[in-house]
Structure 1
């Protein structure tokens, strides 16, 4: 009963909070009442309706989280794009126990969410994908739609499938080094855009020649 009341109150308050965010400079747009506001660790964050994000997670600046996602004890970097119906870090039951039921755990939440998920900066997670608990996804990585990711993904890799496998890398090792050295995602939109424009001009020139 209390949980339903809290959700109802949040649904009433969040439009007001979003207006306040516009005035205080954070520009966060949180449309779901199931989001812990303490998880918002930056500015210009968008979270669409129906998404659940717990208070143990961290969502950083300029990141977008789509509709009907489930995020538990995960750290998501800056400028990342999370499509609809994504599950990140859902609880996992112990297979080495006599029973898989969490009712027998002394601290069910701690056991089910034992390892944190880490998603880097400028990652794109495709629709209907599942990111298993404890997985680390590097900067600039792309996860294809309907993927089940059960192991770490290197930076700038494109992976897809169930389980997900590396299809290719977005750039050459030299280009990846150039992009990583600039750390464009550490900056606000204007400065980041300038660095992206520079990198794209260099990479495009190298591809032509």
Structure 2
């Protein structure tokens, strides 16, 4: 009986979602619940699920992806088979297929490849045991040995602006990825990444910096990622040349 009831509730939610957001729904099985959908030109593809979230205009949530307790800013895209929870995605940023993101703040203009894993939680390495049975108040096995959390499992991860993350990258909880940095495919990032650094490996290490220090300061002073769309359109030529060998102007 409970299975049939759940199926009925799901069906009703699909119908309600279609009636409310039919202009944005581009497939079957889309469910949108307790969310604020703003602006125009949003696209929700088949079997996507949005719960307790805020979606701005010109946003795409692709098939079989879920968004829970999160914010997708304007001009953002979430790929196929993604899970995005307790997180924010800045304008003009996209996340590719099969990524799982939790408890993460992502800046503007980020390009994130498929298979990103972040927000899975950490375990204490200096406790007698790494098992959550001893430090977590959650009843992992039907009971808990403590009534309060003795260890922070899910520290917030911060990804800056204009960050490029390659395929199948794993980020440890709580790290900060600096503006303009590049994370090579397959990297396991366990420490903060400086602005404009290129890192790779397991664990990830700095390979080099994208620009010399004076050029990095020049870019940081420009702070272009905070400019409005009109400024970006007017100054698009600045982004279409090699600035390592010429001034930004």
Normalised by the length of structure 1, the TM-score is 0.81
Contact 1:10–1:33 (Cα < 8 Å) also in 2: no
Contact 2:119–2:154 (Cα < 8 Å) also in 1: no
Q: Which has the higher helix share?
A: 1
Match of 1:61 in 2: 91
Correspondences of 1:80-159 after superposition (within 5 Å): 80-104=110-134, 105-107=136-138, 111=151, 113-159=153-199
Match of 1:77 in 2: 107
3-state DSSP class of the match of 2:66?
coil
Q: CA RMSD in A?
A: 3.3
Q: Kindly state the Cα deviation for residue 197 of structure 1 after the two structures are TM-superposed.
A: 2.3
- 1:22 corresponds, among 33, 37, 40, to 40
In 2, the alpha carbon distance for the partners of 1:203 and 1:94 equals 44
Larger Cα-atom Rg: 2
3-state DSSP class of the match of 2:225?
helix
Number of residues of Structure 1 aligned to a counterpart in Structure 2: 204
In 2, the alpha carbon distance for the partners of 1:155 and 1:7 equals 45
1:169 maps to 2:201: no
In 2, the alpha carbon distance for the partners of 1:147 and 1:67 equals 17
Q: Kindly state the Cα deviation for residue 63 of structure 1 after the two structures are TM-superposed.
A: 0.8
In 2, the alpha carbon distance for the partners of 1:144 and 1:116 equals 22
In 2, the alpha carbon distance for the partners of 1:7 and 1:52 equals 19
Is the deviation greater in 74-83 or in 171-180? 171-180
Q: Kindly state the Cα deviation for residue 150 of structure 1 after the two structures are TM-superposed.
A: 0.3
Structure showing greater relative contact order (alpha-carbon pairs closer than 8 Å, 6 or more residues apart)? 1
- 2:71 corresponds, among 40, 46, 51, to 40
Match of 1:50 in 2: 81
In 2, the alpha carbon distance for the partners of 1:9 and 1:112 equals 38
In 2, the alpha carbon distance for the partners of 1:52 and 1:8 equals 21
3-state DSSP class of the match of 2:246?
helix
Q: Kindly state the Cα deviation for residue 204 of structure 1 after the two structures are TM-superposed.
A: 6.0
1:197 maps to 2:237: yes
3-state DSSP class of the match of 2:243?
helix
Contact 1:72–1:89 (Cα < 8 Å) also in 2: yes
In 2, the alpha carbon distance for the partners of 1:141 and 1:53 equals 22
3-state DSSP class of the match of 1:168?
strand
Query: Structure 2: any 5+ residue segments left out of the alignment?
Result: 26-36, 43-55, 141-148
